[in-house]
A and B are shown apart, each in its own frame.
Chain A
């Protein structure tokens, strides 16, 4: 079975500082990996995804993530935080194959301080 662990349920950064949200996964085979963002009272929006190929993935809003197989990690980063980045972030894993089922981490609430 696949699982996802997000370290830190709450992360606070100052505006302009580096954002680092941690995600580790457990899977017997390389899965597909995703980061989603959720703003209050909204659904999930895809930030980026890793399927195959380049291990450094760039997404929307200046976010990127690096797939490290040896560390089973897929941490999300952004060089400079903006107030509008305050939201909840979810890492998710999906098995390769046709099934669309996502297994989510517990989420990290990002607060951006002025």
Chain B
């Protein structure tokens, strides 16, 4: 099976712009989670989607939003970009079944805000 794919891998944006990142989970996986990784704050949970519904949300401002499509692909959007939004954004997918099902991470999208 192909792994989790994220596009684009690298992105440079200017303050004030908005950005959309895409994540395609492993085939058959219906749960998608997003994480932000920065040198200062480490790895922080953004949100989780399951069957097109946001199931859980981390402590991030409303500028960060996401959605999931019927094919389980997910997008996250960041509006009004700030310099502090520069980070590696990681997507992880998980199978539907099994409470203890593990998460499989993609390679991430490196966002640089200038």
Contact = CB atoms under 8 A, between A and B. Distances in A.
A64 to B, nearest CB: 17
Nearest to B46: A101
Contacts, number: 58
Interface in B19-58: 31, 33, 35, 42-45, 48, 55-56, 58
Interface in B45-104: 45, 48, 55-56, 58, 90, 92, 94, 99-104
Interface residues of A, number: 26
B42 A106 contact: yes
A42 to B, nearest CB: 6
A97 B99 contact: yes
Interface string A83-114: 00000001010001111111111110000000
A79 B11 CA distance: 40
A98 B105 contact: no
A27 interface: no
Contact of B103 (A100, A105, A106): A100
**Chain A interface main SS type:** loop
Central interface residue in B43, B48, B106, B108, by most chain A CB within 10 Å: B43
Nearest to B42: A106
A100 B56 contact: yes
Central interface residue in B42, B44, B55, B90, by most chain A CB within 10 Å: B42
10 cross-chain pairs, A with B, having the tightest CB-CB distances, nearest first? A43-B105, A104-B43, A44-B105, A51-B100, A43-B107, A101-B45, A106-B42, A101-B56, A99-B56, A43-B106
Given A100-B33, A101-B56, A102-B103, 15 more contacts: A32-B100, A36-B105, A42-B108, A43-B107, A44-B90, A44-B105, A46-B103, A49-B102, A52-B100, A98-B99, A99-B48, A101-B58, A102-B43, A103-B45, A107-B42
Interface of A: 32, 34, 36, 41-46, 49, 51-52, 90, 92, 96-107
Interface of B: 4, 31, 33, 35, 42-45, 48, 55-56, 58, 90, 92, 94, 99-108
